[in-house]
Amino acid sequence: MRGLVIVAFKLLVNDRAKFAALLVGITFAVFLMVMMTSIFSGILAKSSATVTNVGAKVWIMDRSVTTPASSIPLPDYVLDAARSMDGVRFAVPLYSSAALVKLADGTFQPVTVMGLDDSSLLGRPELLEGNIQDIYAENGFLVVKDEEYPKLENPQVGTVLEINDHRAVIVGIAKVASSGLFGLPTLYTTFNRALQYLPNTRFTISYILVEPKSLDAIPGIKAQVDKLGYVALTDDDFIKRITDFYIHKTGLGTNILLMTAISFLVGLSISGQTFYTFIIENLERFGALKAIGARSSELVAMILFQAGFAALVGYGLGVGLCTGIMTLAKLKIPDYASIITYQNLALALGMVVIIAGVSSFMGVRRVLRIEPFEIFRS
């Protein structure tokens, strides 16, 4: 059997034109599939950046909220009720809104302002420079150093900005796990200062962050919040709600699905046709092997090896090409949203296996029907 595998390998690679065409088809299909699904994964990760960065275990919000950017203000009594619920260790408000920052050159830059609870500062980012206590100083703000940081002209500790005609002083440089989806720099301050600096509606609490006494208390907290007419979600539940929104309620999921399906069909058509042509051109060789005693199962194994080898090489080239282009893109475009995950790689691998299976199936049918005497008679 080992000898037949070596023969199959030589038959495959000796026809360089066919082998190259087969690899190009699979590589191109894998490249498109991984690229499309990675962009989608990157967008979903950035869309959940607020949830990831704050790190609260339970979020209380209006039932209609679908993403962190679409927060609906909550009345103050919901916060009071949350603090008195069974199983709640503590509950604090979180403010989230957009604002315009006037830079030193007179231009304006939209930003996201996060107002943290004055007492606990729950959800505060990790500081790279400065002291977290300085956020309580007059006009104190933290700025997040991420891909959007240069849009604020790279402010340092002590830099003075202007927000809605109010003086804002950068007292700390922070980092977070993920930058946001919409390309806006992020500033952190206290909850009350955010209310002073930004225009507000009658209700001012964007979200209520809850720390449960234990994980077992979360279902009870959800039930109590539900009776108030609102919804309590764990961080994983909130991320799932955001993901479902972008997949099912926007055209993003449909477009990515279509592009992935088209990539699969392109790879299947190119590789299938090329591999079938390769089998037809080598039909005499397979017939000769059958005539000298090769069993049908051994011929099938040879074809499966050829298809599998080409598919895996093309898969590796496609993933490598995608990784290289994504790396270059992130060097040139820092906020480029694309992440290769194990799920993306597994999906592409599964589709490549299908491509190899369909391609080899067509070849196997043709080889199994051949009779040795037909080869020698011709």
Cα–Cα distance between 211 and 60 in angstroms, integer? 11
Task: Give pLDDT, residue 46.
Answer: 86
pLDDT level of residue 44 (50, 70, 90 thresholds)? confident
- Region 194-200: mean pLDDT is 89
Q: Which of 51-60, 102-111, 114-123 has the lowest mean pLDDT?
A: 102-111
Beta bridge partners of 56: none
Instruction: Answer yes or no: is pLDDT of 375 > 70.
Output: no
DSSP code at position 150: G
The model's pLDDT over 338-358, given as tens digits with 9 standing for 90+, comes to 888 888 888 888 888 887 787
Q: Which of 70-74, 88-92, 237-241, 349-353 has the lowest mean pLDDT?
A: 349-353
pLDDT level of residue 372 (50, 70, 90 thresholds)? low
The model's pLDDT over 245-286, given as tens digits with 9 standing for 90+, comes to 888 887 777 787 788 788 778 777 777 777 777 777 776 777
Task: Give pLDDT, residue 374.
Answer: 57
Output the DSSP codes for 346-368. HHHHHHHHHHHHHHHHHHHHHHH
The model's pLDDT over 166-195, given as tens digits with 9 standing for 90+, comes to 999 999 999 998 887 788 899 999 999 999
Task: Give pLDDT, residue 232.
Answer: 95
- Quickly count helices (H) and strands (E) in the chain: 12, 10
pLDDT level of residue 376 (50, 70, 90 thresholds)? low
Cα–Cα distance between 170 and 128 in angstroms, integer? 13
What contacts 121, CB < 8 A, 6 or more positions away? 132, 135, 190
The model's pLDDT over 297-326, given as tens digits with 9 standing for 90+, comes to 777 787 788 888 888 888 899 899 999 988
Task: Give pLDDT, residue 373.
Answer: 58
Residue 107 phi, psi (nearest 5)? -85, 160
How many residues are listed for the chain in this entry? 378
Q: Which of 5-14, 23-32, 107-116 has the lowest mean pLDDT?
A: 5-14
Q: CB atoms < 10 A from the CB of 188, how many?
A: 25
Across all residues in the chain, what is the average pLDDT?
Answer: 85
Residue 286's nearest CA partner among 265, 302, 305 is 302
pTM for this model (two decimals)? 0.78
